[in-house]
Amino acid sequence: MTFLKLRNQELIILVVTVTIFILFSVFLNNFFTTGNLLTLMRSVSILGILSIGMAVVVISKGIDLSLIATLAVGTAAASVLSSPDVMPAFQFPFIYAVILGLIFVVFFCCVTGVLVAYWDMASVFVTLAMAGVIYGSGRTLFIRDELNYLPKDAVWLEFLGRGQFIGIPMPIFCFLGVALLVHLLMTKSTFGKFVYSIGDSGLAARTAGVPVRPILVMIFVLAGIIAYFAGLLTAGAISSINTRMVAGSMIYDVLLVVVVGGIGLSGGKGGMHNVILGTLLIGTLLNGMVIMDISFIVQNLIKGIILLLAIMTDTLLNPRDEQTTQQGDI
Amino acid sequence: MKNKFLKIAFGILLAAMPFSLSAEEMGIADPARDKYYSALEGKKVAYVPLAMGFDLTEGWYAGMKTALEPLGIEMILRDPNWSADAGSKAISSLISERPDVMVVHNPDVQTYAKLLRKAEKAGIHVVQVNMKSAFPTDAFVGADWIEIGELVTQKVVDQCGSGTSQKVAIVQGVLTAAASAYQLRGVSNILNKNPNINIVSNQAADWDSTKARAITETTLQQHPDLCGIVGFWDGMDIGTGAAVKEAGMADKVFLATSGGGGKTGCDNLQNDIFDVFVSYDVPGQARDLSNVIKGLLQADNKPGKAGKVSLFTQLQTLTKENMNSYTGAGACWTVESLASK
């Protein structure tokens, strides 16, 4: 139903995606084949899941730059705590280690949430600092090596990460599943309505009696759990997790999906269909660029230009008004 | 009587002489021995890797510690955790701390070049490991990347002769890293001699296994008859190999890569993720490093004044079949095995 109520921005993105898709299908050999389209979806499904987490935070007019740290450190913690090599004294069955990793993630996300909600700090700075705190404490406390292999009893996770069901890779189901769950949460539950109202205007929401602060904490915890799930899938796909990805550029790809998908940076707007749209656009582009064998530097240039264009469109379609001037952007 | 008694006493004395000698001076003393120990005792060696926590840097550190610490050498570790900026700061502060030797792992050819010159001027011997800077110092210990690129590519080319599709993909690391750029030269040296090989994809995966996986998946979709893949580093190519294996093409696509030759690399050969693994033998490099340091500390040369020495590592080309014969030569090592020697 949401697709019937598309905003201008979404329409533009839909048109762009469809145009690129048709162009690639016509001009690139083997682009429009079932195998390649499944590969395309599969390769961006983890990025898509992460973007769902980021989208919820951005809708509440925040930003979470610690998502990759949460993903990598949480997953690496789970793999270390179940590995026979690293800490023999603390070797748990993998499923318990996953739960311990979850506790680690939730704890740090609560800290982030409390700092943003109760200390009234800007989320961009809190999460930037927390990314360092999460990575640092994880690496000091238990993750000795950057590259951590999954234990032998992680078979179920390897199925989720690289298995197939009726010929479709599992990560695609995981992406769509998470998108559906969060979609229901955001549209049908009180929590979702509160998130949109906070994004629209935190002050008005508070005046109307919305428990703004606890909801903010919950938003960061939700985003963290989603990132942790994305991390587990990453590990399942290659049987290992490398904490070095924290230093990489993945967080910008996540922002790219969210912004390109049309979730306004001024908060209160957009939904899961934006994330799916953004993911498809980026996935189509990445896939096409690899097929055309475009060099890494040019790929980054193209991605940068698209991000700029998306932000310009966002500014054009959602001009700064009285309200945003008063409350500022992210 | 008296004479006989003296004779016996003398005899006993003679008989006892070897024993009394053995307690004090038997064999010959080595005049150079003391000089060796006194030259090394109390010296300081600082180590600035790209980051700790991965097999290469952990292996070198464990190996150097095992070799040098018993001689009374103090090891100082500065871990910049992949930040070239933090690394520069670490080297600057080390220059004022004046260790006797500094072992530096360069992120690229430019960043540390000026600092290394400054360190040598300040009287610190500088040893570069595995990744070269544009400024040559007293010693370089590490792999010859061009040779690695040539070896790995040759292995792939050998598999992809006529009768196959002759389609080959390349998965590079970070474009600006010396290890990636030099390897690429090695790759092109071999490709120039084999013009019939068709490079269908030449992409950089940023040393990231997830990216390597996604790129390889797409390449395999495009070219289901792909013959071989030239990988640039085992830590990244577990993603490349996972994509090949998942596509059910492990038998058809030949994947050659390189790395430190640790246990995980051997495991990946065993599990058919890699077909050929060119190892730059980290235990051997750790020994080369320790010996170069011992040499520099004993010689009287001022830092930067002696000839610049390069010690290229003897490479080991490991396969599933031959790797067991290399374990005695240090292949399939673990950090624990290097530390406990």
The confidence band for A314, taking pLDDT boundaries of 50, 70 and 90, is confident
Percent of chain A predicted with pLDDT > 70: 92
| SS3 of residue A295 by DSSP | coil
- Whether B218 sits inside 8 A of A43 (CB atoms) is yes
* pLDDT value of residue A3: 47
- Per-residue pLDDT band at A312 (split at 50, 70, 90): confident
Q: Identify the band that residue A308 occupies on the pLDDT scale cut at 50, 70 and 90.
A: confident
Query: pLDDT tens digits, residue range A166-222?
Result: 989 999 999 999 999 999 999 999 999 999 999 988 888 989 989 999 999 999 999
Residue of B nearest to A292 (CA): B201
Centroid of chain to Cα B316 = 12
Residue type, A34: T
> Any idea what the Cα angle at residue A297 is, between residues B151 and A12, rounded to 5°?
140
Whether pLDDT at A144 is above 90: no
Distance between A40 CA and the closest CA of chain B, angstroms: 8
Nearest CB partner across the interface for B217, out of A43, A147, A149? A43
Q: Which of A158-162, A186-190, B19-23 has the least mean pLDDT?
A: B19-23
Beta strands at B316-318 and B276-279: parallel, antiparallel or unpaired? antiparallel
Q: Where are the domains of chain B?
A: 33-143+282-314, 145-279
Q: What is the DSSP string of B215-282?
A: HHHHHHHH-TT--EEEES-HHHHHHHHHHHHHTT-TTTSEEEEEE--BHHHHHHHHTTS-SEEEE--H
Which whole number is the average pLDDT over B310-315?
Answer: 94
Interface pTM, i.e. ipTM: 0.74
Distances (CA, A) of A255 to A58, A283, B35: 10, 14, 62
pLDDT-derived band of residue A115, with 50, 70 and 90 as boundaries?
Answer: very high
Alpha helices in chain B (DSSP H): 2-24, 33-40, 55-68, 84-97, 113-121, 145-159, 178-193, 209-222, 234-246, 263-270, 282-298, 323-326, 335-339
Which one has a higher pLDDT value, B16 or A39?
A39
Of B200, B206, B235, the CB nearest to A147: B235
Residues 298-337 in B contacting A (C-alpha not used; CB under 8 Å): none
* pLDDT exceeds 50 at position B94: yes
Most confident of A237-246, B59-68, B246-255: B59-68
pLDDT in tens, B251-302: 999 999 999 999 989 999 998 999 999 999 999 999 999 999 999 999 878 8
CA-based nearest residue in chain B for residue A42: B214
Q: A323: helix, coil or strand?
A: helix
Whose tokens are 């499923």? That residue is A95
Residue B293: what residue type?
I
CA dihedral angle for residue B32, residue B33, residue B34, residue B38, rounded to 10 degrees: 100
Q: How confident is the model at residue B19 (pLDDT cuts 50, 70, 90)?
A: low
Q: Which residues of A touch B208 (CB under 8 A)?
A: 242, 244-245, 248
Domain boundaries in chain A? Answer: 2-316
Of the residues A27, A31, A137, A242, the best mutation for testing chain B's interface (the one with the most B CB atoms within 10 Å of its CB) is A242
Single-letter amino acid, residue B190: I
- pLDDT bracket for residue A123 (50, 70, 90): very high
Residues A236 and A157 sit within 8 Å (Cβ to Cβ): yes
* Contact: A145, B218; criterion CB under 8 Å: no
Predicted pLDDT at B31: 84
What is the pLDDT at residue B178? 77
Fold of the domain spanning B145-279: Rossmann fold (3.40.50)
Q: Comparing B14 with A291, which gets the higher pLDDT?
A: A291
Rounded-to-integer distance, Cα B208 and Cα B201, Å:
17
Report CB contact under 8 Å: B55, A239: no
CA distances (Å), B5 to each of B8, B10, B186, B221, in order?
Answer: 5, 9, 86, 103
Start-to-end CA distance of chain B, whole Å, equals: 63
Chain-wide mean pLDDT for chain A? 88
pLDDT digits (tens, 9 = 90+) for B120-149: 999 999 999 998 888 999 999 999 999 999
Whether pLDDT at A286 is above 70 = yes
Full DSSP string of A73-132: HHHHHHHHHT-TTT-GGG---HHHHHHHHHHHHHHHHHHHHHHHHTS---HHHHHHHHHH
Tell me if B311 sits within 8 A of B128, measured CB to CB: no
Nearest to B221 among A35, A245, A295 (CB): A35
Chain B stretch 127-186, residues whose beta carbon is closer than 8 A to a beta carbon of chain A: 172, 175
Higher-scoring residue by pLDDT: A223, A12: A223
pLDDT score at A269: 85
More confident residue, B336 or B44: B44
Does the beta-carbon distance from B201 to A293 stay under 8 Å?
yes
Tell if the CB–CB gap between B204 and A296 is shorter than 8 Å: yes
Determine which of A137, A296, A297, A303 to mutate to test the interface with B (most B C-beta atoms within 10 Å): A296
pLDDT higher for B215 or B31? B215
CA distances from A169 to A2, A166, A233, A286, B71 (A): 26, 8, 12, 18, 57
Nearest CA of chain B to the CA of A35: how many Å?
7
Total count of residues recorded for chain B = 341
Of B169 and B247, more confident:
B169
Distance, in Å, from the CA atom of A77 to the CA atom of A73, rounded to the nearest integer, reads 6
Give the pLDDT score at B198: 94
Please report the pLDDT score of residue A117 as a whole number. 93
pLDDT at A6 over 70: no
Beta bridge partners, B204, equal: B172
Residue B102 confidence (pLDDT): 96
Mean pLDDT lowest among A43-57, A252-266, B182-196, B262-276: A252-266
User: Is B272 an interface residue toward A (CB < 8 Å)?
Assistant: no
- Classify domain A2-316 by CATH architecture: Orthogonal Bundle (1.10)
Q: d(Cα A116, Cα A257) in Å, to the nearest integer? A: 24
Q: CB-CB: which of A33, A36, A234 is closest to B210?
A: A234
More confident position, A110 or A246: A110
B55 with A85: CB under 8 angstroms?
Answer: no
How does residue B341 score in pLDDT terms, banded at 50, 70 and 90? Answer: low
Lowest-confidence pick of A272-286, A312-326, B274-288: A312-326
Give the contacts of B275 (CB within 8 A, at least 6 positions apart): B155, B159, B254, B255, B256, B269, B319, B320
CA dihedral B131, B188, A292, A68 (to 10 degrees): -10
* Total residue count of chain A as it appears in this document: 330
Q: Are A238 and B213 in contact (CB under 8 A)?
A: yes
Residue B329: the pLDDT is 85
Q: Is A290's CB within 8 Å of B51's CB?
A: no
The CATH class of the B33-143+282-314 domain is: alpha beta
Determine the straight-line distance between the first and last CA of chain A, rounded to whole angstroms: 29
Here the contacts of A125-129 (C-beta below 8 Å, separation 24 or greater) are A127/A63, A127/A64, A127/A65, A127/A66, A128/A65, A128/A66
Residue contact A242–B209, C-beta within 8 A: yes
Burial-class residue A249 by CB neighbours within 10 Å (0-12, 13-18, 19+). Answer: middle
- How much is the pLDDT for A5? 55
Q: Looking at residue B307, what is its pLDDT?
A: 78
By the CB < 8 Å criterion, does A56 face chain B?
no
Report the mean per-residue pLDDT for chain B.
90
Greater pLDDT, A312 or A1: A312
Q: Are strands B309-312 and B139-142 parallel, antiparallel or unpaired?
A: parallel
* For residues B145-161, average pLDDT: 95
**DSSP element (H, E) containing A21:** helix A8-27
- B146 against B1, higher pLDDT: B146
| Buried b / exposed e along B44-63 (16+ C-beta atoms within 10 A) | bbbbbbbbbbbbbbbbbbbb
CA distance B92 to chain A (A): 23
Contact by Cβ (8 Å): B209, A125: no
Asked if A140 is an interface residue toward chain B (Cβ–Cβ < 8 A), one would say no
Q: How confident is the model at residue A2 (pLDDT cuts 50, 70, 90)?
A: very low
Structure tokens at B8: 């016996």
Question: What pTM was estimated for this model as a whole?
Answer: 0.81
Among A42, A47, A48, residue whose Cα is nearest residue A274: A48
Query: Among A145-154, A315-324, B163-172, B309-318, whose mean pLDDT is lowest?
Result: A315-324
Residues 6+ apart with CB under 8 A from A268: A59, A61, A196, A197, A198, A199, A200, A201
**Is A293 close to B218, i.e. CB distance below 8 A?**
no
Using DSSP's 3-state secondary structure scheme, residue A189 falls into coil
Q: Is B242–A290 a contact, with Cβ atoms under 8 angstroms apart?
A: no
Torsion sign across C-alpha atoms B44, B48, B54, B60: negative
Check for a shared fold between B33-143+282-314 and B145-279: yes
Of A78-92, A106-120, B224-238, the range with the lowest mean pLDDT is A78-92
